[in-house]
Structure 1
Amino acid sequence: MTHQYQLKNGIRIIMEEMPSYRSVSIGVWVRAGSMYENAANNGMAHVIEHMLFKGTARRNAADIANEMTAIGGNMDAFTCKDCTCYYAKTLDIYAKDALDILGDMICNSLFDEKELKKELGVVLEEIDMYEDSPEDLVHEHLQMEVWKDHPLGYLISGQKEVVSGFDREQLMAFFEKYYVGKNIVISVAGHFEKEQMLEWIREYFEEIPAGDAADPGKAPEFSTVLWKKEKDIEQNHICLAFDCCSSLSEERYVMTVANNIFGGNMNSRLFMKIRDEMGMTYAIYSYGSSFEQAGLFQIYAAMQPSQTKEVVDAIFSEIDNIIKNGVTQKELDIAIQQIQAELILGNESSYNRMSGLGKSLLIREEVIPLEEELKKIQQVTVEDVQAFFKKYIQKERCGISIVGNVTYDQEEL
C-alpha cells in the first residue's frame, strides 16, 4: 500500500512500506532534464547532476562518498530527457543517514568554481566516450534528427562546444529555476516507519523554495530523415524510428505488447527471423522511447556493411507481415505472460518500486496500481497489435540513422 503526502513547499512524497525487507530505497526526482534546456545551455542538467556530488558546506566530495560507503549503502544519480534522479539504497537502520546526505547535496551544494572546472573535464570525457560508441551514437542522433531543433531531441550530455563554456552563474540560474518544491518528488520504498520517514524528509527538504512548476512545452514535429556518420569500424549500426504514442497515452499498453512480440526479447519475430533463421546480425531489437509530449518506436541492428540493405529489407518485410496478417493468439498470450512476469518480479525490488513510484508521480501526476497495469496488459488483443502497426509503423514515415561504413542513400534503403 502506498501513502502520499505534500510538504508546504509543494514537494510531493510517495512511500511504500515493505515490512519483510531489511533495505530501504530513497529517490529524489526532479523535473530537470535536457527537454527543459535550449541550444545555449544543452547539457546543463547533466553537469548539475555531477556537481551535486562535488561538495557542500558540510561535506566535500570524499566525505559524501565515504559516509555513504560507511553505512553500507549505494548512492548514485542519472539524468534523463525529462528528469534527474538522485537515489540511495541502504539498510533500514541507516535511512536517516542516507536522507541527510541526499538532503545536504540537494540543498547545500557549493558549485565551487574550481570543482566545476575539473568536473567539466570529466563530462567532456564522458561525451567523448559516447562518441566512441556507435550503438549510442546511432540511437541518440536519430532522436536528435527526427525531433530536429526541439529540446526533446537534444543529447542529454550536450555538445562539447556548449558544455565546455558553462560557468557557475549559469549553473546556479538553471538550478534555482528547476530545483524547487513544485518540481520535486521524493519516493521511498522498503522497510521504514512512514511517520518517522515523513518527519525526516521535512527536516531535510522543507526549506527548499516552492518555485514554479516546469513547463514541458509543445510536442515536437516528427521528421523523416536519413542520418549517416562515417566511422571506420567492422559493423554498420542502424536504427529506425517511427512517430509513436506518448507515455501518457493509453496506447502505451498496446505498444508494450507489440514491442515484446516484434523485437523486445529473444523469441521475438526480429530475433528469430533475422538473427537465428537468416543469420545476418548478432544484435537486433526494438523498443519504445516515450515521453509526455511524444514518443518513438525504434529498431536497432548491427551487421556487416555488405548486408545493411538486406537487413533493412528484412525488417520492413516483418513489419509488412504484421500489418497484413497480424499476430497469432499464441504470440499474444506468450507476450502478455512475459510482460506480467516482468512487472511482478520487478515489484519485488525496493529500488524498482521506489523508481516506478517516483517517476510515475513526477511525470504522470498519478501512480497506477500494479493490478491495474496488469489488467491493462491483459486487455490487449491481436486486433489492437495489428492496428498499432498500421497506425504507427509505416515505411514512408520512418527515420533512419547509420553509423559505420556508409554508402547508401535514402532511396536504396
Structure 2
Amino acid sequence: MKITDSIYQKTRLTNGIRVVTEQIPYVRSVSVGAWIVVGSRDENTKNNGISHYIEHMMFKGTSNQTASEIAQSLESVGGHLNAFTGKELTCYYAHVLDEHLPRAVEVIADILSNSTFDEAEMGKEKRVVIEELNTINETPEELIHDLFWYDVFPNHALGLSIVGKRQTVSDLSRQGILDYLAENYTADRIVIAAAGNVQHDEILKLVERAFEKFSSGTLPNYQAPSPRGTGRNIIENGSIQAHVCLGTQAYPYRDRRKFGLLILNTLLGSGMSSRLFQNIREKHGIAYSIYSYIDFMFDTGLFGVYVGTDGQNIDVALDLIHKELALLKTTSVSAEELERTKSQLKGNLMLSLEGTSSRMNRLAKMEIYLEDHYSFDDTLNEIERITVDELLGISSELFSEDRIFTTILKPPNAT
C-alpha cells in the first residue's frame, strides 16, 4: 500500500508563521486552514471559554466585511468556511475549488487580522454561546465527556470545558479579548496548512501578503498534569439513561507508544466487531452506545470508554468493561486478532484521509505536535511493527486499577 502521488513542502516565513502544503494534483479542490496553538488549556477559571468565544466572534464582522459578507464570501462560489476550538488548538478553515484559493486565504486572514469585536455583536454572541452551553447541559451523552475531562485532569486547565461556563462567558470584556489575542494569536503559534491541488509557491505569496500583520511572540509553556489516581464521581441529573465514562491519562502525540494504543482502542471499542460492542451490546444487550476513544496532546493524552445504559445496569456494565480491560493485561492478543485489528486500523486511517480536509488536518497536527512530516507509509509501518508483547505492556500500564477513573451521570434512584 504505497502513497506516492502527493508532494509535501514546508516554509517558515520571516515573521515565524509556518506554511505546510501537500499537493494532490488529481483533485480539483483545496482545503486550507489557519491553525493557532491556543485553546481552553490556555485559560483559567476566570476567563474559561474565551478561546471558543473568540472563534465565534471572528465571523461577526471585520473592518472590511460585514458578518453577512463573510458568510457569503465562499459559499457564493460553492465553498465552505468554518472553525473549531479544542483543548490546545483553534482552527479557521475553508474548502474551495482550487481557483478560489486566493479568496479563501484572504477571507481567513481578514477575520483573523481585522475583526472589530463590536460590543453589540459581542452581546448577541454571548447569548448564542450560552444557548450552546444549555444544549450541552441538556444532552447528557455530551455533558458526560466534559465532566470526565474535569475528573481526569483535576485542578488543571485541561479539565476546563472548551465552551466555558455561563458566568465566565457573560463576564468576558472586549479589552480582555484584545489582550488575549495579542498574547496568543502570534506568528510563532500559527501554522497555515493546505492540502489539495495547491502550488506551494503560490500559497506562500498569498500568506506572506495576507498575514503580514502578525508578529512573533512566544509558544505556550504548558505544565504537564499530575498523575490522576483511581476514583469515582457520581452525579445525579434528570436523564432517563445513565451515562458513564471511565479511563485514564495516556500518551502524548509524539510518543511512539500511541500506535500501540491506537491498536488497543480499535480492538476494544471501534466499530461493531470490537470486544466491547460484541460483549456489552450484542451478548448482554445492556447498551445501545458503547465505544472507546483516545486523544493525544503535547505532553499527555486521554483514553476513555463511554457507555450509555439503564440506571439499573451501571454496575453490570462497569464490571464487564473492567473485565475486558483486565483481560488485555493478562492474556496476549492472538496473532490472528492482532493482524485483523491492524488491517482494520490501517483501512480506517486510509479511508479517513481520502478527502482534502482530513489530509489538511493531519498535515497541520504533525507540524504542530512533531514539527515534522511523516508519510502514510511511515504511519502504516509504525502500526505494523507493534507486537503482542508491546500491547501487553501498554495495557498493564494504562489499564492498571490504580489509575482508572470513572465518571457517572445517572438518573435519580439509579443503582
**TM-score of the superposition, structure 2-length normalised?**
0.96
Q: Write the deviation string for residues 95-120 of structure 1: whole angstroms up to 9, x where unpaired.
A: 11111111101111111111111111
Q: CA RMSD in A?
A: 1.4
Q: Residue 385 of structure 1 aligns to which amino acid in structure 2?
A: L
Out of 395, 408, 414, the position equivalent to 1:389 is: 395
Contact residue 146 and residue 225 of structure 1 kept, 8 A: no
The residue aligned with 2:48 is: 42
The residue aligned with 1:124 is: 130
Deviation at 1:406, TM superposition (A): 5.4
Bigger drift between 112-121 and 315-324 goes to: 315-324
Out of 334, 341, 349, the position equivalent to 1:343 is: 349
Partners of 2:240 and 2:79 in 1: how far apart? 41
The residue aligned with 2:83 is: 77
Task: Answer yes or no: is 1:106 the counterpart of 2:120.
Answer: no
The residue aligned with 2:3 is: none
**TM-score of the superposition, structure 1-length normalised?**
0.96
Contact residue 29 and residue 83 of structure 1 kept, 8 A: yes
Contact residue 34 and residue 91 of structure 2 kept, 8 A: yes
Partners of 1:267 and 1:384 in 2: how far apart? 22
Gap change, CA 1:406 and 1:218, over 3 Å in 2: same
Contact residue 68 and residue 98 of structure 1 kept, 8 A: yes
Task: Answer yes or no: is 1:310 the counterpart of 2:305.
Answer: no
Deviation at 1:323, TM superposition (A): 1.6
Out of 176, 184, 202, the position equivalent to 1:178 is: 184
Deviation at 1:289, TM superposition (A): 2.2
Out of 7, 19, 27, the position equivalent to 2:13 is: 7
Contact residue 220 and residue 294 of structure 1 kept, 8 A: no
Structure 2 matches for 1:254-333, cutoff 5 A?
A: 254-333=260-339
Moved over 3 A (4+): 406-409
Residue identity over aligned pairs, in percent, reads: 31
Partners of 1:6 and 1:407 in 2: how far apart? 59
Partners of 1:206 and 1:267 in 2: how far apart? 51
Bigger drift between 80-89 and 210-219 goes to: 210-219
Q: Residue 80 of structure 2 aligns to which amino acid in structure 1?
A: N
Task: Answer yes or no: is 1:204 the counterpart of 2:217.
Answer: no
Q: Write the deviation string for residues 311-353 of structure 1: whole angstroms up to 9, x where unpaired.
A: 1111111122222212111111111111111222233211111
Contact residue 145 and residue 223 of structure 1 kept, 8 A: no
Structure 1 unaligned regions, length at least 5: none
Out of 336, 343, 367, the position equivalent to 2:373 is: 367
Structure 2 matches for 1:219-258, cutoff 5 A?
A: 219-258=225-264
Gap change, CA 1:52 and 1:168, over 3 Å in 2: same
Q: Residue 365 of structure 1 aligns to which amino acid in structure 2?
A: E
Partners of 1:280 and 1:311 in 2: how far apart? 7
The residue aligned with 1:29 is: 35
Q: Number of aligned pairs? A: 409
SS of the residue 2:380 aligns to: helix
Deviation at 1:22, TM superposition (A): 0.6
SS of the residue 2:44 aligns to: coil
The residue aligned with 2:24 is: 18
Structure 2 unaligned regions, length at least 5: 1-6
Partners of 1:99 and 1:284 in 2: how far apart? 40
Partners of 1:223 and 1:395 in 2: how far apart? 9
Deviation at 1:363, TM superposition (A): 2.4
